[in-house]
Amino acid sequence: MTAHAPASAAVPVLHRETALQTSPALDARLGRSLLFKMESQQPCGSFKMRGLGHLMAVRAGQGQTRFVCSSGGNAGLAAAWCGRALGVEVTVVLPQTSTPAVRALLHELGARVEVEGAVWDEADARARALCAQTGAAYVSPFDDPLIWEGHASLIDEAARQGPRPDAVVLSVGGGGLMIGVLIGMARQGWSDVPLIAAETEGAASLAAAMAAGRPVSVGRIDSVAKSLGSLIVAEEAWRWTTRHDVRSVLVSDAQAVKGCVDLADGLRVLVEPACGAAMAAVTAEPEALKGAGNVLVVVCGGAAVDLNALAGWRAELGV
C-alpha cells in the first residue's frame, strides 16, 4: 500500500497552496484561536482538486487519456479543471435534474457533458458503463486511495503554515476529505488531535455509521447542504473512527447557513452550506471542542453558492 506515503515528486500537482487565515473578530467572539484552511481558494472552489487532481495526474502518468465522472457538483467541476490542466478528455455524466448553469460551466471548462437518467444513480451507472466500454478511468467523488492521498496534502501544508492544533474541524459527505485529513494528521504526528466531523442532521451518514458500528445507508437525504448528500460513508471513513478520536457533531440546516454567514462576515468568503456546517460545529460550542484553544477549521468551500443563493437560504430558514 502506498496510500500513506508522500506523493511522488514525479506526479504533477494540480491544486494550489491555500492560505491559513485567521479572523480576530471571530476569535474574540468565540474565545478561541481559529485557523482557517482556505480550500475555497482552489480554482474549482473546493478542496476536491487536491484528491481528484492527484488521482487523475497519477493515472495520466500511467497513460490514461480519458476520464469519466458522474458528479454534477464539486467533484465534476474539479475533474473538468484537472482534465484541462492535464490535457486529457473528461466526460461528466449528469442526471436530468442537473441545472443548465452547471452544464454550461462544465462545457466552458472543456468537459464533455452527457445527460442520462432521472437521478444520480442512473447517471453513475452510465458513467461506469462508459468506462467499461471505452477503457476510460472512472473518477469517484470520494472513494479512492489516490483521492485520499491528494486530500492529505491539505494537512501537510497546514502543518508548515501554522501551529499544531488542539482540534481539527471539517465537514463529512462521503468521507473522502475526512480520510485524507486523518492520513495527513497521522503523517504529521497529530494522531492524538481530535477530529470534529460535522454533518447536517438531514445528511448524517457518518453519525449513522458510528451508531451502527458499520457504514449504513441513511435512506434519504434532506438537507440544504447538497455536497454532504451521500447516503452512505466510505468503509474507510468508518474504519478511521475506530482508530482515531473522531467526534461526530450534527448541526441543523439553519446553523449551517449561519456558518456561511459567519464565514462571509469574518473572512469575506462565500461557501456552500456543506462548508458552513463545519463553522457551525465550532460556533455551536459543542462538548467535543471543550478545552481546545487552537482549532484548525477546514474551509472546504464549494462552487454552488452566490449572493442570491445565500440570501435565498437565509430567507427560507430564517437566518
Question: Which positions lie near ligand PLP, rule CB under 6 A?
Answer: 46, 48, 74, 141-142, 171-178, 227-228, 230, 272, 274-275, 300-302
Q: Give the nearest distance from C-beta 175 to ligand PLP in angstroms.
A: 5
Q: Give the nearest distance from C-beta 281 to ligand PLP in angstroms.
A: 13
Stretch (H or E) spanning 254: helix 253-267
Q: Which is nearer to ligand PLP, 150 or 286 (CB)?
A: 150
Strands 20-21 and 89-94: unpaired
Query: How far is C-alpha 29 from the geometric centre of its chain's CA atoms?
Result: 27
From CA 148, how far away is CA 257, in angstroms rounded?
A: 27
Q: Give the nearest distance from C-beta 21 to ligand PLP in angstroms.
A: 17
Q: Give the nearest distance from C-beta 187 to ligand PLP in angstroms.
A: 18
Query: How far is C-alpha 281 from the geometric centre of its chain's CA atoms?
Result: 16
Q: Which is nearer to ligand PLP, 23 or 205 (CB)?
A: 205
Q: Give the nearest distance from C-beta 77 to ligand PLP in angstroms.
A: 9
What backbone phi and psi angles, to 5 degrees, belong to 137? -90, 135
From CA 260, how far away is CA 283, in angstroms rounded?
A: 12
Provide the β-strand partners of residue 33. 294
Question: 50 and 38 in contact (C-beta within 8 Å)?
Answer: no
Q: Give the nearest distance from C-beta 171 to ligand PLP in angstroms.
A: 5
What backbone phi and psi angles, to 5 degrees, belong to 4? -100, 0
What does the DSSP 8-state code read for residue 273? H
Q: Give the nearest distance from C-beta 298 to ligand PLP in angstroms.
A: 9
Q: Which is nearer to ligand PLP, 175 or 266 (CB)?
A: 175
Stretch (H or E) spanning 205: helix 205-212
Only one residue has cell 474551509, namely 299
Question: 80 and 50 in contact (C-beta within 8 Å)?
Answer: no
Q: Residue 84 is which amino acid?
A: R
Q: Which is nearer to ligand PLP, 33 or 169 (CB)?
A: 169
Q: Which is nearer to ligand PLP, 65 or 261 (CB)?
A: 261
Q: Which is nearer to ligand PLP, 21 or 230 (CB)?
A: 230
Instruction: Tell me how long the chain is.
Output: 319
Q: Which is nearer to ligand PLP, 172 or 193 (CB)?
A: 172
The terminus-to-terminus CA distance of the chain in angstroms comes to 46
Q: Give the nearest distance from C-beta 55 to ligand PLP in angstroms.
A: 13
Q: Which is nearer to ligand PLP, 93 or 275 (CB)?
A: 275
Q: Residue 78 is which amino acid?
A: A
